[in-house]
Amino acid sequence: MNRILPHLILYSGLGEDSILVRLAEIIRDCKNGGAKEPLLQRTYAQVKRLLDLSTVCGFDENLWQCYLTWVLMTNDNSFTRTCERVGATEGGSVNRFAENDFAVFHQLFHYDFSDLEQYLLTDCFSILTDYRAIPKRERTYNRDVSAQVRTLRGALAAAENGHEMFRLVTDYYRQYGYGVFAMNRAFRIRRAAAGLEFLPISNVDGVRLEDLLGYEGQKAELRRNTEAFLAGRHANNVLLYGDAGTGKSTSVKALINEYYDRGLRMIEIYKHQFGELSHILGEIKNRNYRFIIFIDDLSFEENEVEYKFLKAVIEGGVETRPENVLIYATSNRRHLIRETWNDRQDMEHHGDIHRSDTMEEKLSLAARFGVTINYNAPSPKEFQAIVKALAERQGIRMDEEELRVKANAWEVRHGGFSGRTAQQFVHYLEGLAE
């Protein structure tokens, strides 16, 4: 392995602390007759790192090949960036360098660890290459990464040579891209010493739009705008407003499950992070994805001025918002910013029109959302229909009149008519059944 890695060109920047590089150094020292006990400890340290990564990402069967597949999927270099945008251009000179690298990876995929195991008197790599992961709940690992790595790993393992691996991986880059955005659908951000970090949300709620009962017109409008965005047509920023618990956030979250395979990604940010918006746009504007920046429960108190950052990014700043970015926000307030009667003290009178500069300043944020969708609370009859449908979906058998009476009693004590209240009531009934 230590003689194979130096032949990498495009993928040479793996990092000195990568598992692959560390193992190559161990194999080199073994061949030079290094002391066995320290080498065994170094080997086990890398095995532990591989097992830790496999646990987080849900690797199985051949952890070594899964790791190499993960390296190919996450590596950032000039070739991966180009392939994400336009694919592997036929006849491009860079393809010759890439094919050289994939010939190296083909050797690594089928590397024989028996000499290393014999020297160190261990069978750890035999176990890693024929691994049986303990079944675990989906919430304990990143299921998106697991599915992609295991699927591509199987194809690469069956490839006869580096040329076939080249074709498989470049097809993957063209379809999904590379790096963290390729393998995950939703993210949060964090400011670190090295710059802005995109933190994958490993286990996104699997809800889909059809799971939200009612609000058919609202969902249709949300679909229409999002599909226009994905198709590269003109689309608008969206504000979903209305009563609490009516499914505004659920509708937005459902979009990434509906359209993930069409390149939709979501970045959730909070009010205190609005100052990072320009940095976020700088990081994602040249990626071959469509991004929704999601702001949940958006509102501002009278003395808060963070909304000015948001106004500038949505519309009105010097820098144009990238065509692959939209902002979707939810709020219980139609106009987002709390108004007071003091805002009306600078009235100007023009006939029958009363206009306040302060009010205009505050209302202008909501006006920058081209699509506004109202989610109003359900009527008592609609609430009962939601409860009945949710109960049937969960297999709860109860007399319809009894269900109605209990649901009404629950609603009085738990926040009024809403889809959230109905869902909580059905969860309560499920708990009783258990």
Other Cβ atoms closer than 10 A to 51: 16
Using alpha carbons only, give the angle 20, 25, 29 rounded to the nearest 5 degrees.
Answer: 150
- Which sequence spans correspond to the domains of the chain? 5-183, 209-375, 380-433
pLDDT of 416: 81
Distance, in Å, from the CA atom of 297 to the CA atom of 18, rounded to the nearest integer, reads: 40
Distance, in Å, from the CA atom of 416 to the CA atom of 388, rounded to the nearest integer, reads: 17
Helix, strand, coil % in the chain, rounded to nearest 5: 55, 10, 35
Looking up tokens 């094919």 gives 99
pTM, two decimal places: 0.80
pLDDT of 218: 94
- 83 contacts 102 by C-beta, under 8 angstroms: no
Provide the CA 1 distance to its chain's centre, in angstroms.
35
pLDDT of 138: 62
For residue 185, give the 3-state DSSP assignment: coil
pLDDT of 65: 97
Residue of 404, 414, 255, 299 whose CA lies nearest to 310: 299
Other Cβ atoms closer than 10 A to 27: 22
Q: Return all residues near 187 (Cβ < 8 A) that are at least 6 apart.
A: 180, 181, 198, 199, 200, 201, 265, 266, 267, 268
CATH fold label, 209-375? Rossmann fold (3.40.50)
**Encoding tokens for residue 99?**
């094919």
pLDDT of 202: 77
**Encoding tokens for residue 116?**
């290393």
Exposed, middle or buried by CB within 10 Å (0-12, 13-18, 19+), for 233? exposed
pLDDT of 358: 47
- 199 contacts 187 by C-beta, under 8 angstroms: yes
pLDDT of 89: 74
pLDDT of 244: 85
pLDDT of 351: 46
Instruction: Going residue by residue through the chain, which has 434 residues, state the pLDDT in tens, using 9 for 90 and above.
Output: 888 999 999 999 998 899 999 999 999 999 999 999 999 999 999 999 999 999 988 899 999 999 999 999 999 999 999 898 887 777 778 899 999 999 999 999 999 999 999 999 999 999 999 998 887 666 666 788 888 999 999 999 999 999 999 999 999 998 888 998 988 899 999 988 878 899 998 778 888 999 888 899 999 999 999 999 999 999 999 999 888 888 899 999 999 999 998 999 999 998 888 888 888 988 898 888 999 999 998 876 666 666 667 777 776 555 567 899 999 999 886 655 554 444 445 555 444 444 454 455 556 666 778 899 999 888 888 888 888 888 888 888 888 888 888 888 888 888 788 888 888 888 888 887 65
